[in-house]
Amino acid sequence: MCGIVGYIGNRQADELIIKGLERLEYRGYDSSGIAILNGALKVHKKQGKVAALRAIVNEHDTTGTLGIGHTRWATHGEPNDINAHPHLGGRGRLALVHNGIIENYGVLKNALMAEGHTFESDTDTEVLVHLIEEIQREGNLSLEEAVRLALNRVEGAYAIAVIDRENPDILVGARKASPLVVGIGEDEFFIGSDASPFLDHTKKVVYLDDNQIASISRTKGLKIKNTANETQPPFIQELDLQIEALEKDGYEHFMLKEIHEQPQTIVDAMRGRISSKDGLVYLRGIEEFANRFVRANRIIIVACGTSYHSGLIGEYLIEDLARIPVEVEYASEFRYRNPILNEGDIVIALSQSGETADTLAALELAKQKGAMIYGIVNSVGSSIARLTDAGSYIHCGPEIGVASTKAFTGQVTVLTILALSLAQKLSTISNTELQQYLRELELIPEKVREVLEENDHIRYIAQEIKNHDNALYLGRGYNFPVALEGALKLKEISYVHAEGYPAAEMKHGPIALIDENMPVIVMATNPSAYEKIVSNVQEVVARKGRVIAIVNQGEKAISKIADHIIEIPATDEPFSPLLSVIPLQLLSYHIAVELGRNVDQPRNLAKSVTVE
């Protein structure tokens, strides 16, 4: 949620920062801005995409080797030029960019106004930079010390970068509950919400922890303290990430590229973790805490959005294969309903970014209650990865499209391996069954490739149904969460209202909506409920609903009565979501393209929700 870029070194900062903002634009695209220090603070801000900011910057002299930039997803204050970051202090000495929410900004603002401060914007961020500048002025303090003291008065979440007109040789960054990473180059330093802005310049990074402040000096290098003024040694990591992963690679949109990457990303999620030949299923995080897992009273999965749907599939997998009770909770609700937790529980967090604010807060609560916490994330070095007792990366690489695709299948793949690992340890399936499951799981990437070959057929179906204002998605068993995910994808990127339902629940309300103007997308690949699904389809057809059915190759009954069918290879039922979700991703994508939507950057959404 919002993207931060900063640079200090010997090169011109403006182009480095603008390019960095373009790579971070998936985090927010309501407005953007840049501040360059070269004697004076040169600040340019513009509502809209980074391209609009670039056009303005190109018309001005923005030479300078120290600067910060920001691309915004609006929280406090509507998206406009004034509310865009960076914001200046009351005397114009400091410039600051911020991701997060300062919860007590109202109290701070009133106190500052009583001292004569005036504010131009509606943002909490402007209050913070005024506060830092006031503390700096009163105590004649260094920028680092003023930031530290100010943050001790702040309640909420933040990642910030600050520069000082009176000190052109220092860049200060800090974080709490919102990501910030420092890139270390040759006589130059970078700062970013993630590493993508500077990946082509350095792969050496330091991920800041909560309550840490990074003071980056041209002459003294990087020093880290916490808000208690204790020096913290930086932990430098070398990223294993290629710049090509951040490019579209010939695809029209990142989302389409990421859909087509899934055969490989599923392989990457399985690599080194399963072998049907050896009967091997291995997740290091599970092995390290095997006793806790096999003795668990229950497993609670917490997540938001698409990750919540992955968690629902995880519930089916773990209960079906390992016979451990599982509950799946929206992280935002879990933390506020006084949940019952004890030391015998395991809480699993799912998050692509590893920075989702509500999920992090849910984990903190679980940790306080003594439960073991386990993370399944994509982003290396993320907050959830560092907070949890153990966990697993899904190894999907950067996901730039706001609507999650490959992260969903990556999470489901890791949850499948987790369920099989627990089933093996608890002997709830035989070795013969385990090897059969592993053989089939190893075939999934090639079967996904087969589904992707249906792209042109799915595009045709999208053209046929694109003008409908509503859609209903139905599924049973393992494919009910897939129906929820398909409906979410359509809403996210095409702005078409859609609902996902258990197919049997259609008769308990949604059937009243069905007519010739209601496309009904049915997941019909479950052998265990096949006859029931056929009956559901007949009920829709009887009311003139338009049926698009996802069926196994060679299916006969539904194919005779549906308006459109999309055939996918058959697989073992626990693995069917990994295949049935692919047509839904493509269908949503093509409908959105047909409607002229901005597929990678849908309105009002940002990739990583790091504020509550």
Catalytic residue among 2, 42, 45, 447: 2
Q: What is the 3-state secondary structure (H, E, C) of 498-540?
A: EEEEEHHHHHHCHHHHCCCCCEEEEEECCHHHHHHHHHHHHHH
CA pair distance 305, 116, nearest whole angstrom: 44
Secondary structure class of 321 (helix, strand, coil)? helix
- Measuring CA to CA, which residue among 492, 198, 178 is closest to residue 354? 178
Pairwise CA distance, residues 273 & 285, whole Å: 11
Residue 272 φ/ψ region, left for φ over 0, alpha for ψ in the -120 to 50 degree band, beta for the rest: left
537 alpha carbon, distance to own chain's centre: 35
Residue 212 CB contacts under 8 Å (≥ 6 apart), including other chains: 174, 175, 224, 225, 226, 227, 232
Preceding amide of 398 cis, omega within 30: no
Strands 31-38 and 40-47: antiparallel
257 as an active site residue: the answer is no
Provide the β-strand partners of residue 396: none
What's at 576, amino acid-wise?
S
Query: Annotated catalytic, 277?
Result: no
Cα–Cα distance, 257 to 247 (Å, whole number): 9
**Backbone φ and ψ of 368, nearest 5°:** -60, -30
Pair 574, 437: CB distance under 8 Å? yes
Tell me which of 42, 406, 489, 607 is the catalytic residue: 607
Q: How far apart are CA 396 and CA 379, in angstroms?
A: 9
């840049």: which residue's tokens? 34
Which distant-in-sequence residues (6+ apart) come within 8 Å of 350 by Cβ?
301, 302, 303, 307, 308, 310, 311, 314, 359, 376, 377, 411
> E strands, 39-187, where?
40-47, 66-72, 87-88, 94-102, 156-164, 167-176, 181-184
Contact of 41 with 95, CB cutoff 8 Å: yes
Question: What b/e readout covers 510-534, taking b as 16+ CB neighbours within 10 angstroms?
Answer: bbeebeeebbbbbbbbbeebbeebb
- Name 93's Cβ contacts closer than 8 Å, sequence gap at least 6: 133, 136, 164, 165, 166
For 261, 586, 600, the CA distances from 592, given in Å and listed in that order, are: 20, 10, 10
Q: Which residues are catalytic?
A: 2, 607
